[in-house]
Amino acid sequence: MGKRHLKGTSRVAWLCSLLVVLGMTASGTLSSPANGATGAQSGAVSWARPYADRHDTSYNGLCLSFVFNAYSAAGISLRPWVTVPIGYNTYPADIWGHFNHGTTGGGTPPFGALVFWRPQNGDRTNSHVALSLGDGNLVSTSDGVANYTHYETMAAHSYAVYQGWWLPEGSGGDGGGAVGEGSIVSHNGFVYRIAGGAPIYVSNWGAIGGPQTATPLSDAQFAGLPQFPRDGTLLDGSAGRVYVVAGGAPLYLSTYDAIGGPRAGIRVDEAAIDNAGGGVPWDHLRPYPADGTLLDSSDGRVYIVAGGAPLYLSTYDVIGGPRPGVRVDGWDVANTSDPNAHLRPYPADGTFLNTSLGQVYRVAGGAPMPITTWDIFGGVQPYVTVDQWAVDHRSEAPAHLLATPVDGTSVMGLPSGRFWTFKAGLRSPGDPTSGAVAVDDAGLGIFAIRSTAMTSAPIRQPESKAEAKRKRHRARHHKKHRQRHHGKRKARHQR
């Protein structure tokens, strides 16, 4: 997995061939190119098969180089069709969704497509890309299935998160209907507009300028569309607001200057934005960006999303080196309480954070609570790699973390099973509740326990103006009395 370093093709030039070679698939059956496959698609697959046939190891850890060289051997350079810089530290997750040519989808990958995954924990350095043979079969370099180039199936790669496929040229007829940007399509009685490759629900024709002809899609065609729009897609909401998509979520754009100037967007129904994260048919926009989404904010800072909140990144080193993010408006980061921002002020309760120093935390009430062992949670859980800076500076605004949980936060310590409730930064025993966040007993030790004396102390009532005036009068009277008394004692002493 992993998989950077785009190598040249001179070392494998002798393999360059546009012949269609039939080989064995991962299931042991013959797999032919799909009808309508282009010469480049067939040539890329033909170049790749011999590596799998002989269990070659020369591309271990270089999956991105492998698929790029496959197309290069077929006479096509993919670099001009990728809209982000490519260097020695580029991984598959860095380029996914950043294409200006071809077709993307989210169902069964068509013959010749590049197929992308990311790991459960979002670590880009363990993202992966393989080459599709069609029908759910793949040629893959070393990954969790085998430590050499091999044949495998989509099902065998279920340990990672499938992001989608990219067919650099052609329409991908066997992977599910390719439709143009801005197209109107229908499926199961719902009407959608294609934006960033994904279907965005249209609840009424007036939102997009009036009735239009919709192209019906089959189940297979609809499943072949990406679930969420590509990063950077601009959505022109019917209410007059403009949004930029980041990690599947629409983030408000207060000015085009934040993204370098005006550019065209896709007119969509504002209701789809307001209902982001809902059930069908509202499930093609997220309410908050996906964990691990990198935001290049117009405020000059870079943030990584964890539990829906933007956590400041002081250096790219903590996430394995520079990688492209989504250019967004600093307004969203500064106004997380506004629903149009589609960002949380703090990570959602239960979010696991793994910092650049290897310390693990779980968020409860906006505060990160240390985790000393995964065992109490049944093993390693999905987490987001974040900058230790954010934890160490949790009270500073860019960190988007709190030093102590918000009042009313309920947690359950593990393994003790004891419940605690927080108020004013202190914890006190609480009643069992289903909404409590499970945390480490050892991590709770950094939060003081509210004493019985503190909880039972009488509450002082504010004094009235009249009482304050009487106190001042008594104080002046006592002062004059002490002065007269002191003067008499001094006179007697002198006599």
Give whole-number Cα distances, 303 to 83, 127, 307, 326, in Å: 21, 20, 13, 10
pLDDT band at 73 (very low <50, low <70, confident <90, very high): confident
Digit-coded pLDDT (tens) for 139-170: 999 998 899 999 998 888 877 888 889 999 76
Give pLDDT, residue 39.
76
Percent of the chain whose pLDDT exceeds 90:
55
Residue 345 has pLDDT above 90, yes or no: yes
CA 479/CA 495 separation, integer angstroms: 25
161 vs 144: CA distance, rounded Å = 13
Contact 340, 145 (CB under 8 A): no
Q: Cβ contacts of residue 430 below 8 Å, gap of 6+?
A: 410, 419, 420, 421, 436
pLDDT at site 32: 38
Read off the tokens for 170.
Answer: 């052609």
Residue 108: its pLDDT value, please? 85
- Conformational region of residue 368, where left means phi above 0, alpha means psi within -120 to 50, and beta covers everything else: beta
Q: Which of 283, 203, 297 is nearest to 249 (CA)?
A: 283
User: Domain segments of the chain: what residues?
Assistant: 10-167, 184-274, 294-452
172-200 residue pLDDT tens: 543 334 467 788 999 999 999 999 889 99
Kindly indicate the confidence band of residue 101, based on its pLDDT and cuts at 50, 70 and 90. Answer: confident
Name the least confident of 94-103, 311-320, 368-377, 465-474: 465-474
Pairing between β-strand 294-297 and β-strand 326-328 as defined by DSSP bridges: parallel
Neighbours of 240 (CB within 10 A): 7
321 pLDDT tier (thresholds 50, 70, 90): confident
Helix, strand, coil tally for the chain in percent (to 5) = 25, 25, 50
Averaged pLDDT, 226-230: 89
Q: What is the DSSP letter of 82?
A: B
pTM tops 0.85, yes or no: no
Q: Which of 193, 38, 33, 44 is nearest to 102 (CA)?
A: 38
Tokens of 107: 């169902």
Residue-level pLDDT at 28: 32
**What is the per-residue pLDDT across 387-400, written as a single tens digit (0 to 9) for each?**
999 999 998 999 99
Q: pLDDT tens, 402-427?
A: 999 999 999 999 999 999 999 999 99
Antiparallel, parallel or unpaired: β 128-134 and 114-118 = antiparallel
- Tell which wins on pLDDT, 251 or 479: 251
Distances (CA, A) of 380 to 1, 108, 329, 489: 19, 30, 34, 81
Instruction: Indicate the length of the chain as a whole number.
Output: 495
> Please, what is the Cα angle at 216 between 213 and 217, to 5 degrees?
145
Cα separation, 58 vs 427, in Å, equals 56
Question: Can you tell me which residue has the tokens 């326990």?
Answer: 449
In whole angstroms, give the CA distance from residue 147 to residue 428: 52
Beta bridge partners of 364: 367
What's the pLDDT at 141? 95
Residues 140 and 152: beta-carbon distance below 8 Å: yes
- How high is the mean pLDDT of the chain? 84
pLDDT of amino acid 480: 62
Question: Residue 122 and residue 93: Cα distance in Å, rounded?
Answer: 9
Cβ 313 vs Cβ 304: under 8 Å: yes
pLDDT tens across 438-487, in order? 999 999 999 999 986 554 444 455 556 666 666 676 666 666 656 665 55
The pLDDT of 339-364, averaged and rounded, is 96
Residue 175 pLDDT: 39
254 φ, ψ (degrees, to nearest 5): -80, -25
Q: How many C-beta atoms lie closer than 10 Å to residue 262's C-beta?
A: 11
Which of 71, 76, 66, 118 shows the shortest CA–CA distance to 97? 118
Q: Categorize the per-residue pLDDT at 279 as very low, low, confident or very high, splitting at 50, 70 and 90.
A: very high
Strand 384-386 to 352-355 pairing: parallel
- Bridge-based pairing state of the strands 266-268 and 234-237: parallel
Model confidence band, residue 322 (pLDDT cutoffs 50, 70, 90): confident
Q: What is the pLDDT of residue 463?
A: 57
Cα separation values, 143 from 32, 38, 165, 434, Å: 24, 28, 17, 39
Sequence-separated (6 or more) residues with CB below 8 Å from residue 464: none
Annotation: CATH topology of 10-167: endopeptidase fold (from Nostoc punctiforme) (3.90.1720)
- 19-30 confidence digits (pLDDT tens): 222 222 333 323
- Report, as an integer, the average pLDDT of 44-66: 91
